[in-house]
Amino acid sequence: MIDIDAPVQDNSLVWSDARLLGFMPMDDTHKEFHDVALRLVTCTDTSALAAIEEFEKHAVSHFEQEEEWMRTTNFPPRDCHIKEHEGVLKSVREVKSAIEDGRAGCALAQDIGVRLFQWFPGHADYMDSALAAWMTKLTMGGKPVVFRKNI
Ligand SMILES: [Fe+2]
Ligand SMILES: [Fe+2]
């Protein structure tokens, strides 16, 4: 029997609809997060710099978008959410500069990719999900309804 109330235990490298939060613009960005983080995990020495640059570009727009939603709607608990984003971006930029300078190669890029996959489910479940519920309530006047397939 499947326990539908069991917490989602998903830090797999493959996108799963179990990760949907019900606010479509955020869900689309989170699917993109999986794609660009996967490119880090699977990069080679030749593609490591492009992969970390692409991830940084994604992270900047991903986090700016969420922070703009929080600011423009006066979302109350936004400080620690923004701090987590800043921490991730700082680590990503450190890895990028090490690869740019030739101090590191694909192993470091793959390592941060794996750590991003480990970080994401907790962040999405505790921080992004609260923002998704808030945004859905503001824009739709109700709680998010999530239709998931293939779970
Ligand atoms: Fe997010
Ligand atoms: Fe976030």
Ligand nearest to the CA of 25: 1
Would residue 133 count as lying in a domain?
A: yes
Structure-token pair, residue 106:
């694909």
Q: So what's the pLDDT on residue 151?
A: 57
Instruction: Output the domain CATH number for residue 110.
Output: 1.20.120.50
Ligand nearest to the CA of 81: 2
In order of 2, 69, 113, 124, the CA distances from 40 in angstroms are: 33, 28, 5, 20
Q: So what's the pLDDT on residue 119?
A: 96
95-108, pLDDT tens digit by residue? 999 999 999 999 99
Using the mean position of ligand 2's atoms as its centre, give its distance from the Cα of residue 129 in Å.
9
Neighbours of ion ligand 1 (CB under 5 A): 128
Would residue 116 count as lying in a domain?
A: yes
103-148, pLDDT tens digit by residue? 999 999 999 999 999 999 999 999 999 999 999 998 876 665 666 6
Number of domains in the chain: 1
Would residue 145 count as lying in a domain?
A: no
- b/e per residue, 80-95, with b = 16+ CB within 10 A? ebeebbeebeeebeeb
25-77, pLDDT tens digit by residue? 999 999 999 999 999 999 999 999 999 999 999 999 999 999 999 999 999 88
Using the mean position of ligand 1's atoms as its centre, give its distance from the Cα of residue 1 in Å.
32
Would residue 123 count as lying in a domain?
A: yes
Residue span of the structural domain in which 35 resides? 24-140
Cβ atoms within 10 Å, residue 51: 26
